[in-house]
Amino acid sequence: MRMNRGLTTALLATAGVATLSSCSSSNISGLGYEKGLSSVNDVSLPLWQGVWITAGIVGVVTAILILWPAVFHRKKNDEFPKQTRYNVPTEVAYTVIPFIIVAVLFAYTARDESRITKVTPAAQAKHSITVNSIQWSWQFTYDDAHAGNKGTITGTPAHPPTLVLPQGEKVRFTLTSTDVVHGFWIPAFMIQMQNLPNVTNHLEFSANKLGTYPGRCNILCGRNHSQMLFTVKVVTPAQYQDYLNTLKAA
Ligand SMILES: [Cu+2]
């Protein structure tokens, strides 16, 4: 019995140390995502962390519930154990508790999703870019610089395009597809939205830190899906204006 107690204490201590060490490391605290990279991260990151904390608590409680009977209620003698058919309080508890967990996660997710997908009307948007997807690359049209066939950058699988964004300024995106379903995804910005044929989707966010970030298609869209890449380059608003002017002049 003493050895069993020792084992349980050791397991609990290990779980405790693992939890504490993950909290103290700033790298793990974002659980793969960096804070402040985009306006979406500001909303999604607390949700992402909250879901992992919830999963951690559920995992630890479940492990204890499994290990507790295995360690402390082992077969002690040859006596046939007492047989019970049901336990109403336990059954109510294991129905109600998961329901509450799912309801809370759902409520936070629904709240954050409505915040993320909020878009200002086209006429009031400061910047707008159309993201069209084609098997197997991307076409970015900067509406501020759009005239005739100017202001459009079309990539190919061999030459993936670059999406230039102004730092700290909201950009309204219009997502369309020429052929099949694609997914406009910038992993570091915690954002993805599908490009659908015959459907126009809208998205709005600001990129808040200078730098380059990988972008991808995250819907299996055909043979060269894996080459459907792009790069996001976040520049200062002045550099963005220069870029638009070069597009207009090109
Ligand atoms: Cu695709």
Distance 187 CA to ligand 1 centre (A): 15
Q: Which residue has the higher pLDDT, 89 or 25?
A: 89
Grade residue 65 by pLDDT with cuts at 50, 70 and 90.
Answer: very high
Distance 23 CA to ligand 1 centre (A): 37
pLDDT at 66 over 80: yes
Of 62, 85, 116, at which residue does a domain stop?
116
Kindly report, residue by residue over 79-135, the tens digit of the pLDDT.
888 888 889 999 999 999 999 999 999 999 999 999 999 998 988 889 999 999 999
For residue 133, the model assigns a pLDDT of 97
Q: Please check whether residues 66 and 152 belong to one and the same domain.
A: no
> Looking at residue 202, which CATH number applies to its domain?
2.60.40.420
Q: Which residue has the higher pLDDT, 145 or 106?
A: 106
Distance 160 CA to ligand 1 centre (A): 12
Smallest CA-to-CA distance from 180 within 140, 220, 216, 141 is with 220
Grade residue 141 by pLDDT with cuts at 50, 70 and 90.
Answer: very high
For residue 28, the model assigns a pLDDT of 53
Q: Which residue has the higher pLDDT, 145 or 214?
A: 214
Q: Please check whether residues 172 and 95 belong to one and the same domain.
A: no
Distance 135 CA to ligand 1 centre (A): 6
pLDDT at 163 over 90: yes
Q: Stretch 219-247: mean pLDDT, rounded?
A: 95
- Note down the domain range covering 136: 122-249
**Residues, CB-to-ion distance under 5 Å, ligand 1:** 182, 217, 221, 228
Task: Give the total number of structural domains in the chain.
Answer: 2
Q: Please check whether residues 43 and 132 belong to one and the same domain.
A: no
Q: pTM of this prediction?
A: 0.79
Grade residue 250 by pLDDT with cuts at 50, 70 and 90.
Answer: confident
Of 64, 87, 116, at which residue does a domain stop?
116
* Dihedral angle of Cα 175, 181, 186, 187, to the nearest 10 degrees: 150
Q: Please check whether residues 48 and 157 belong to one and the same domain.
A: no
Instruction: Give yes or no for a contact between 163 and 133, defined as CB atoms under 8 angstroms apart.
Output: no
Q: Stretch 126-147: mean pLDDT, rounded?
A: 91
Residue 149, classed as helix, strand or coil, is coil
- Length of the chain in residues, anyone? 250
The Cα-based distances of 69 to 1, 98, 185 in angstroms read 13, 21, 46
Q: Please check whether residues 95 and 213 belong to one and the same domain.
A: no
pLDDT at 248 over 60: yes
pLDDT at 1 over 50: no
> Looking at residue 84, which CATH number applies to its domain?
1.10.287
For residue 19, the model assigns a pLDDT of 46
Q: Stretch 17-29: mean pLDDT, rounded?
A: 49
Q: Stretch 208-226: mean pLDDT, rounded?
A: 96
